Structures are given as structure tokens and as C-alpha cells.
Structure 1
């Protein structure tokens, strides 16, 4: 949310530096994400002063140039060559001095230098309006009033009034701070409490509001009071739709809004002032009647963005007698909108149910300034005030007369919240003793009234606009944020006791694995648990199913409407994001939960996803440009399983029903603990990824559970030598090394220590459909030296097993 400092000062009498306001707002919970100076004229007219033309003579070598001497208020007068036809002695003018920079075009700065023009020195420039960036006129130089004082800085003379834009990262709970007055309220509370100021909020006076001749009454019917508890409206006749005055346009531009016309600009202005959205309809389209109703089946509306939208029967609309004119609280319709031909308007100010607005906005893929506020909850007590405030401003900038008594359809007023509060418990939760007088002062400055006291037990009345303060804990938070988080002292010594650590220690194992992966050069990812349903629908490949989605009841957007079923898709977003910024070498991992909905109920499972792509090593003069491969991933996963003590208990099987391809399943004991492989071409194309991406998707819950089987044993180092034998095997191409390893280990479980693959050959002079593997076998008896006969017997069993099960041939 964007706040203008000059605009803010209309409501609270402060004279604080922007940096100080930044600190106060952040300390009170309205985190300031940035402060930007907004210059009325780019460059701020630095180095530009008011001058007086003392003499003006024709240039001897140019008919259209004049040589002038100009008094700049101090020092000797300077000589300036000027080509303007209207320059004359005795004028007060605007002078850009040598060294200053002008911005006639914001993107093309122009620096003033000492120069010679047709042989005559010139020390500056007498400026026209467009050369200063203050207008478009270039008919001649600006001639000022005779009382202008030479030497006055131009920025001071023109009273440019630079502003500061304060950008606040507004959290969803702070519905009270969705306008400038709400932000001013927090400043008031802080300064009144900490600096004993006596500040009040200066709300604009609406006492001048009056009804003229009643010539355009509108009947208002609210058919769904649950979704629209309050609806106010009034008509204004005789308006002239045109561009807004400069002050109004400047205010809107400062906070990043584009002016549209004086009527719409006023509704936007009041919304950003009070936090209460309004909407103006062309009264001719309203035609005497407004109905607040749910949409009819199949009903459509063309919204202001010229898109036709099909409404559902759960959408609330503002309609006339025959058709919908506006999606309530979200977006207006183009047919009922204010246009240049509009002569009368119907002005709406309402309260809509936050859940209803949120669902409608998400269903229609809309996110507007109005829906942003209604979704969080607007102040029901400001509805009529906002209507009168906007009506007065419209009359000021567009003329016209109120043509009906304002209607306030509010049958069941929303009451303030009653909250029980205990001051002793408040101090216990905060960890510091705040005097009750100061506590009450904080609450009073936040418009929270103490209606009853019984020693430490208080009964509070919280205004209806504070939808986030309905429990004692919420009140404690309010006290703390104004008292100041930084004012709670931290003790020099903290006492604690060792807690029971479960076995296996899930967090301890996670730290060990994270350290291993970081040591490999990987970065840890932390992605949102929310994602979009379209991923599963388009890429699920019958592995992930749409019916297993855990859907959000009130999604923030269509991009975040379900809980993730896999960590893969959000990680591929990271790969694509980095690749598009020339960071294509990716090594990353993420611990996170995935969520599924089954007939038996909901299920959570914690996973570990590892993702590799690009070059193995950082590009350097003495490094190779080798890229990561499946075997890079396999080596890393083997190291991980070894770190958990599960390497000897884990086997591999062919992939079945997987999002990955060209990979394997990992089986620890009898339990599937993950899979690794490469993403498909379809996924690469979907995410716009241009290189191979290798993935290991591991079941972290299963790995932790399996780690219980890991028994650490200590043995003496063997005193005997190991014996190595090799086989060169001719195999079918589809045979994997894992199958060879399994057969070898089944042949001997005592003396065979290791099986390795040290050469693979496929290609020239090789029978079609075949490949060659060179496999090593290491044997050792830790008690006595092995004999050739023992090793030969085991090798024969291995050979027989390979020939029988894999149709292998010795070469």
C-alpha cells in the first residue's frame, strides 16, 4: 500500500523526517518496505535561480540572438546569450546557472555549461517553461512578476512541494490501515504515548453536505443482507465530467494511480483517504432503482476492462430493474460507468461481506483496489460519512447538486466488539511491567474504550473496524506494538533445561543431511506450500490426481488455490526463474510437506527434493565444462543414504508411475523411500527450461523411520589383504548395474565386500542391442588370508547367476 507524506499531513499535524516516520510505522506493525522522494519537477530545479535582466542588446553576428547581462542576486552580473524573442531589459526571469542539470525530457538530462555562441561567451541559460520541465510552452522565456527577488532559488519561488512515497507491506489483518487516515491513527497513538503529544486525527468536515431539489430519487432494495449489511446511496445532478484539477491528479499520481476523470478520481481519492471504496454509476442507466441481489444463472456483465464475464449464482451484483450494473465490491460494469456524456450520477457507499467478495473476486480472476479492501473488512461506521465526503468533493470539482436525500439501508447496525482483558496477564505475556495508566493510554489512543474495570479485569469495547482485535491476545498485541517491541529488555542470562530428544532425532538428521548437501554446493529452497491446481491437471500424468487436491476455501489467487501434492513444480519454477536471469547452474534442495486428500481423510508427508541442472563446477579457466548427469545425482544420493547409514539396506528398481523418466525407485528394506531421474521434455517445455534437470524426490518421513534400523558397529581394522577379481561382460542394453550387484551379493554374503563398475562401452564393433560392462569384485576375510579356491568358487557362482538371470556372456 502506498502513502503520500504530504497527503498524510492533511490528517495529522506532524513535522517528522520521512526516515523517522519509516521507523515509527515499522515498529508499530506497519512495515515500511521503501521510502521514495517524489520530485514535482525532476532534478528539483537545483542550481536554477530567479534573475533580473539588466541589459539586452542585439547580437552583432546573429539577428535572432540577444546578449544580456543578468543579476543573479549575488556577485557580479553574468552575461547570457538568449534566443527568446520576448527577452527584454527589466524582466524578472528564471536562470539555469552553469553546472546545473535540466530535464526538459525526464529521460534526456541537459547540463548547463559555459559556452561561446557566435563568438560571445554565455554563462547560463534564461529558461522557457518546457526547458524547466514545468510545462510545454516554448513560445518564449518565462517572465515573472516584478516583485520576484533575484537570487531566490527557483524551487522555493515556485513552491514545488516535493513529496515522499511511503510503501507499506500491509498484512491481511490490518484492515484498519487501508487508508491515509488509518496510518495517521497509528502515528497519533505512538507519538501521544511516547512523546506526550496531544495529536488528534483531522477528519475532513462534511457538515456542508446538503440536499438540493429532489429531482432524481433512486429506490434501493437490498435482497441479501448477509452479504450486504449496509448500503448507502445518493444522486448528484448537473455534473460536468472532465479532467480533475491539478491538485487531485497530483495526489493520485504520487501513489501510483492514473487520473481518469474528476468523478472517478474523487472515488479513488476518498478510498485511499478513508479505506472505504465507493462507486459512481451513470444515473441514466440506474433509471430510478438499485437492487443488491445475487446473479441469475448464466447472467453476464461486461466489466470496465471490456471483458465479458459470466456470473455464478453465488456472485453478488448491483443491478437496476433489469440487468446487473456492477460486480458488488469487485468491479464496475462498462455500460453503467461514468462517461464524458454523463450529466447525473448515482454514488454508492456500502459494506460487503469479506468472504463473499473474496470468493467472487477469485472466481472471476479479479484483484482490484476495492476488492482488496472489502476482502479485509471496511469500517461500517464510515459508510455514510464517506458518501457525504465524496459528494462534497464531486460538487467541488465537477459541479452539480445533490438531487435526493441520501438513503442509508442499515437495518441491523454492526456493534463494537466486547473483549475481556486482564492487565496482569498482559504484562506476563509481554514480559515487562507496563503501568496500567500507560496501558489505558495506549488503548484509548487506538480508539479502544475501557468500559468497566474490576482491579486487573477490564471490559473493553473495540470499534467494529478493528476486525483483527476480538480476543485478549489481540489486545495484548495492540498494547505491545505501540509500547514498542524494542522496549522489551532482553535479559543478559537465559536459563533453560535440556529437553527430551526423540529417537530417531528427526531435526538432528535433517541438519546432518542439509550440511551434507550444502557442502556439495547446494542451496536450500523454501517454497510456498500453496500452488496452482493447473500443474497437476496438465502435468500429473495419472500419478498426481486432481481429486486428491486439498483445496483452499478462500484462495488468495488462482495461482495459490491448492496445497501442493509434490515439491517438484515449485522447484522447477525456481529453475526457470534463475535460468531466465542467466543463472543456469542449479544445485538446490528443499525439505517440505506435501498434502493429499483420500477417501479416508487428509494426509501429510514430508519430502526431501534435490534438483541439479547445468554445469557440475563453476565456470573457470582450469575447470571442465562438464554438465551434471544422472550419475552426479546418483553419487549425491548414495552419499546421503550413506550418511544416514542406509546405503547397504537400499536397492534400486525400475521406475513405475512417476513424474520422472530415465531413473529408478529407491527401496530401503521393503519400503519405497524415493525415486530419482530426469524431468520429461513436456515439463521442460511447460516451464520454459532449456536444459536437462535431474531430480531426487525422497520420502523424508520414510528415511527417518528407516534410520532406526541403522546399527552402528565398531570393528577392528582387518589385518589381511583384499582380493580383487574382474569380469568383462557382454549384456543386453536394458540390463542395469543394480541387477548385476544384486546377483553378486546373493552369491556370497560373507566375503564379498564391494562390487564396482569401472568401464562401460557401447558403439562400434558392438553387436546391436548389446553393451559391455567391466565389473570389479572385492573379497576379504578379516580373520585369515583368502585362498584362490575360495574366491574362484564365489566367482563361478556369480558367473552362473549372471548367465542364467541376465543372459550375460564373458568376454
Structure 2
């Protein structure tokens, strides 16, 4: 935004140099990017942040300087005239959400001509080209107060004025003489037959104020920032008006800006005010009150500021100090300062105006180390453990679409009452959604051998309450034998959590084939399986996806105390057993081997699996490697062979097991 320093000086006494003013504003957060001289005036170009719409006006900048310099303002508020009631025309607001308030004033008998030089200079200094006295007055009041206004040629309006949404493919030609095809998303001002303005953005060519205009309808309104932003982006047009409406304009200054425009039009263009009409009403908003603590302020800034100085700063900034306690102040923020909601926001305002350069540099207070819950630490260490296994962590959205969950046959999901996007309107009850999306994205990028995990919360309804639980998801894709690898990783997770005496139970689970439940004490800790062909085809996956999900809270509850024993100093000996089997669980074989080996059992693993030629259908050929170790001596070959032969014999007696 560009503004004239002479314009600002009309509202506050400034003896400081332009460079000093620029430095003050920059240090307070309103960055002055350029400063240059133009005749007897100085022009400052600033970068206004989106949370400070009050800086988009000369009066707003004067308020800021008033607080920084502790000087009184010289702002005169015009006397508001709301009568007589306008009868020649009616205003009908059809889209009350898009336009809460619309104010119109009819002035007849005006003379449209060039603006006086003082008016031209002020708007040119702020980056706006002069047009004629009527249009220049509306721009002047916008620059001064921050509220955009618009003047229509009243005689070109046919019937009443409507604030509505555009119809599909309705056409509109703006003051820039470009024709635009609108959509139902666009908010427009129209009469009985045509669109006369794209609301809050640009007026229509068909109601332009020109040299032949005698009667004008002056518009002042409050438009929805969201609607204006969407219209501006869709139509590819940005104006001074849209820039301000998008950042929210002041309710209180709407009538003030409109009244000053009327006064200037009557003074510079002649004519007579024939009537006023106001439609809509300001939405009832909960009054914001903030209680700040002076000790907290001192702790936040690292410096104590006297109570009276804090009150003075806040008063100059437009805060109302309603109550004063011993160490606290009860405040009501200015209506336009929607960015101030919490005490910390007020502390920042005090620091800005007090001056960051006045705060002495001190070493920060180092609080005691935060002691996290054991469960938090468990998740943190588990995350590091999975990364050490070569699995990459992913973080996916907790919000997803209802249609996706219905495709996954999920039922107990929680709907969001006010979603930002209708496509994302429910909280995830499973981590499968994000896992599928992550795998699909990486497969589409020609990445293979995918190994992902995610530790995150899921959300679901249980009876009449809402539940939130921490879960672990593991997703593998892109290589052969991923099912066994996934099961091995899940086994390592269970070992990490010191879960013992659990079992793998085949189960029927929606969206999965060959699914296994992880069961301990008759409770399911989670499951793993391969997604079925329906989902694979639905999500257009080029590879199989193996997925596991574990309830971390149950895992935490079922863990057993961990005891440490000394390592054996003696070597481990292993022997292999080759078998063919059908419908026999590995856990059954493991249990027999463990029982027969007794204290010498160190472990058992599958080192090879084969199914194909020379092997009947439904039969798997496995090679098991059994590890033996003693704590007190080196086992001899005779001992190991005798033990191993006994185990082979017992395994061979199991129905469905064939020794090879």
C-alpha cells in the first residue's frame, strides 16, 4: 500500500523526518519497503500483513503512529445523517451470508467534472488514478477510512437493487470494459434486468458515472471476505476494493466513510441528498474480553513495564480498559482487530509499541525438563526402532472423505460439523486410508520396494461417545514374500514391547485376504493381511499391498516386565530341518521345538520357502533353522545331533508334516 505522509499529518502532528517515521513503522511490524519524495510530499510504500486490515487506511496508520509517539489524534467524525428514508428504490439482499449489510444513499442533481487539485494529489499519491470528482471522492474515502464505496449512475438502474449470486454463465462487463462469464459462486449487485457490479471487486460499465450523470446511488456495504476472495481468484481481477474486502473491513467506519463521501459530493459536486436506506444487520458476535496478567507480561518479555504505561499503550491502540485489578487488566479489543484473541496477542502488541529495542537482552529462563508420560516415550522409542529396521515413516491427514470410508466398509466414523471442504468431512477410523494413498503415490512415481509405517490416532464412535486411540500402521508393497516380511516386522514390534504368549488367529476381515488377528488373553491387539483384489482394482494399485494395524494402547497395557539376563559366553550351534507341510501353523512347530530343546533353545526361523515344481498343490516346502546354546558350556556335536534328531522325529509324527 502507498500512502502520502502529508495526508497522515492531517490527523497527527508529525515533526519526525520521513525516514524516522518509516523506521518507527517498520520496527512496529508495518514494513516500509520504499520511501521517495514527490513534490512537497513524501510517499511511503508498505507491505501490509493479512491480519492487519486496519493498516489499509490513512486513519489506521495515524492510529499506529499515535500509539508509537504517544500523541493525540485529530480525527473528526462527520455527523451521521440517516433521513429521509429512501423511497425511490428498494434494496433486496438475497444472499445474506455474502452481504450482511448494504447501505445506499441517493443524491440528485450532481455535476460531474474534474476533481480539485488537492483531491487529485491525495489519491494519486496513494496509487489511484483520478477519474472525476464523484469517483475520486469514493476512492478518497476508501483510502482515508479503509472502507470501499461505489457510485452508480442512478438513472441507468432499472427497478430495485439486488444482492445475489450470479446465475450460471451470466455475463458481466466491468469498468475495465472486459466481458466476464460468471458462475454461481460469484456475488453480484444487479437491478431487475442486468448485473451492475461484481460485488466488492469492480463496478459495471452499464452504470458508470460519466459526464452526463445527474443522479447517483452511493453504495457502502460489508461483503464476505471468503466470497470476495473466491470471485477475485476465479475472475482473475484484483482491485483496491477487493484487496480490502478480502481482509475484512470495519463495521463502525462504514457509515462514517459513507457520510463523509456524501458531504464531499454535496460540497464539490452539488446536488441534494434525497434519501438513505440500510438493509441487513450486523451479525451478533460474542463480545471479546481478554484479561492480561502483568507478571505474565513481564515473564513473556523479560522486562517489567509499569502498569500505567501498559494502560497508555493499550488505550492508544484502541483497547478499552474496562477493569483494573492489582496485577491484572480486563480489556475489550478494537472491533477491527480480529487477530487479538488471547493474552499473548496483547503482550505482543505491548512489546511492539513499547519498542523491542528497549527490551534489555537477557539469558532466557530455562525451565525444568518436561517429563513425558511413559506411553509418550514408548511411542517415541518405537518410532526410532521401526526406522532402524529400514522402514520409512509417513504422516497422513487425519481428515478424509466419507465416500472413501464407505468404500472401505467403515461404519463408526465421526462426521465433522463444519468441514472446510466437503470432500474432507470425516475423521479417519483407520490408518488404511493414508497407507493406500501413500503407496499409490509412490508406485505412480515408479518407486518400488515400499516399506512405510505411521504412528497416529484414529477416531471412531463407540456406543454414545467418541473415542481416540493411538495406532501403528505398517504397509509394504513392491517385492515378493512381503507377507512373511511383514509378519516378521510385526513379530519384532511385539518382541520390542515384550509381548509374550500371543497367537496368530486366521480371521475374516473386510478388505483383506489371508488376514491374521494378533490375540493375547482373548483380546485382539491388531491384525495384518493383504488387501483384496477389489480394493487393489478400486485404487488402481500396480502391486500387492500388505498392511498391518496395531492398537498401541492395548500393546502398552499387555506388555510384560522386561528382565535382563547375562549373555552366554559360549557359541551358538544351529541345525536345519527340511519339511513339507499343509495346513500346519508355524507357531505349532515352534512350540514343539522350544519344548524339546528346553533350556538349550535359542531360536528358530524360516530360511527358505518353496512352492512349485515337484511339490503338490497346497503344499509348502520349508527349511527351518534351529539355534541351540548353553549358558554354562559349549555344546558338543553329539548332544546337538541327538537333540535335533529327536525334534525331527517328533515333527515327522505330526499330521500334515513330511520330513524331507
Bin the TM-score by the shorter chain: 0.5 to 0.7
Superposition map of 1:73-222 within 5 A: 166=47, 168=49, 170=50, 174=51, 176-177=53-54, 179=56, 184=61, 188=65, 192-193=67-68, 196=69, 217-220=88-91
What are structure 1's unaligned runs of at least 5 residues? 39-154, 254-261, 615-625
- Matches of 1:686 and 1:249 in 2, distance apart? 60
- Matches of 1:697 and 1:342 in 2, distance apart? 64
Q: Give the structure 2 partner of residue 515 of structure 1.
A: 384
Cα displacement string for residues 425-483 of structure 1 (whole angstroms, at most 9, x for unaligned residues): 55466353111232123212311244665765656454333345577666445434544
State which of 412, 416, 420 in structure 2 corresponds to 1:556: 420
- Matches of 2:358 and 2:476 in 1, distance apart? 46
- Matches of 1:669 and 1:518 in 2, distance apart? 29
State which of 519, 537, 562 in structure 2 corresponds to 1:712: 562
* C-alpha contact 2:394 2:454 (8 A) present in aligned 1: yes
Change beyond 3 A, Cα 1:710–1:227: same
Q: Give the structure 1 partner of residue 459 of structure 2.
A: 595
* C-alpha contact 1:543 1:658 (8 A) present in aligned 2: yes
| Deviation (angstroms), 1:403 | 7.5
- Matches of 1:645 and 1:8 in 2, distance apart? 72
SS at match of 2:206: coil
State which of 718, 725, 728 in structure 1 corresponds to 2:578: 728
SS at match of 1:405: strand
| Deviation (angstroms), 1:348 | 4.2
1:538 aligns to 2:404 (yes or no): yes
TM-score where L is the length of structure 1: 0.56
What are structure 2's unaligned runs of at least 5 residues? 113-119, 173-179, 210-215
Further displaced range: 667-676 or 278-287: 278-287
Superposition map of 1:304-323 within 5 A: 306=181, 309=184
Superposition map of 1:12-91 within 5 A: 15=18, 24=27
SS at match of 1:556: coil
Q: Give the structure 2 partner of residue 741 of structure 1.
A: 587
Cα displacement string for residues 378-405 of structure 1 (whole angstroms, at most 9, x for unaligned residues): 4210222444678899999xx9988853
Superposition map of 1:312-391 within 5 A: 338-343=203-208, 348-351=219-222, 378-387=249-258
Cα displacement string for residues 91-111 of structure 1 (whole angstroms, at most 9, x for unaligned residues): xxxxxxxxxxxxxxxxxxxxx
SS at match of 2:376: helix
State which of 206, 212, 231 in structure 1 corresponds to 2:102: 231
- Matches of 2:111 and 2:434 in 1, distance apart? 52
State which of 547, 550, 572 in structure 2 corresponds to 1:698: 550
When the two structures are aligned, how many residues end up with a matched partner? 612
- Matches of 1:521 and 1:11 in 2, distance apart? 63
- Matches of 1:263 and 1:695 in 2, distance apart? 69
- Matches of 2:278 and 2:560 in 1, distance apart? 73
- Matches of 2:338 and 2:580 in 1, distance apart? 75
- Matches of 2:481 and 2:24 in 1, distance apart? 51
- Matches of 1:441 and 1:698 in 2, distance apart? 58
Superposition map of 1:215-614 within 5 A: 217-220=88-91, 230-234=101-105, 276=147, 287-290=158-161, 306=181, 309=184, 338-343=203-208, 348-351=219-222, 378-387=249-258, 404-409=274-279, 419=289, 421=291, 424-425=294-295, 427=297, 430=300, 432-450=303-321, 460-467=331-338, 469=340, 475-476=346-347, 478-480=349-351, 482-483=353-354, 492=363, 494=365, 505-520=374-389, 524-529=393-398, 531-533=399-401, 536-538=402-404, 540-545=406-411, 548-553=413-418, 555-558=419-422, 560-570=424-434, 589-610=453-474
* C-alpha contact 1:756 1:777 (8 A) present in aligned 2: yes
* C-alpha contact 1:524 1:589 (8 A) present in aligned 2: yes
| Deviation (angstroms), 1:673 | 3.3
Further displaced range: 219-228 or 436-445: 219-228
| Deviation (angstroms), 1:593 | 1.9
| Deviation (angstroms), 1:604 | 0.7
Change beyond 3 A, Cα 1:439–1:680: farther
Cα displacement string for residues 544-585 of structure 1 (whole angstroms, at most 9, x for unaligned residues): 23x6223143x3333554333344545666667778889888
Change beyond 3 A, Cα 1:730–1:419: closer
Change beyond 3 A, Cα 1:499–1:464: closer
Change beyond 3 A, Cα 1:6–1:593: farther
- Matches of 1:326 and 1:494 in 2, distance apart? 61
- Matches of 1:685 and 1:273 in 2, distance apart? 62
SS at match of 2:653: helix
| Deviation (angstroms), 1:600 | 1.6
Change beyond 3 A, Cα 1:376–1:566: farther
Two-structure CA RMSD over aligned residues (Å): 6.3
Q: Give the structure 2 partner of residue 68 of structure 1.
A: none
